[in-house]
Amino acid sequence: MNTQTARDTKSPVVAAALSVLAAISEQLFSAAMALEQRRRQQQLSMQLACVDARTLRDAGISEAQRFIGVNHPS
């Protein structure tokens, strides 16, 4: 590492830029995780919609609960 590079990485401007990039990275990661959670919820909702009435009863899920789960996934 040359002297110029070592000096640049210690400058307040570089430190501030790295801080901003870290904050942006955290926000992007949070958004990606929220999208993944939403995708999983939609997938579970679609699977619940395909379950037959007997399996629902065996699982202790009423038709009303299924309707809510399919139409209002949380």
Question: Do the beta carbons of residue 70 and residue 50 sit within 8 Å?
Answer: no
Q: Which domain, by its residues, includes 33?
A: 3-71
Domain count, the chain: 1
pLDDT tens, per residue, the chain with 74 residues: 555 555 555 789 988 999 999 999 999 999 999 999 999 999 999 999 999 999 999 999 999 998 888 887 66
pTM comes to 0.64
From residue 64, give the alpha-carbon distance in Å to each of 2, 31, 70.
69, 32, 10
Number of Cβ within 10 Å of residue 41's Cβ equals: 13
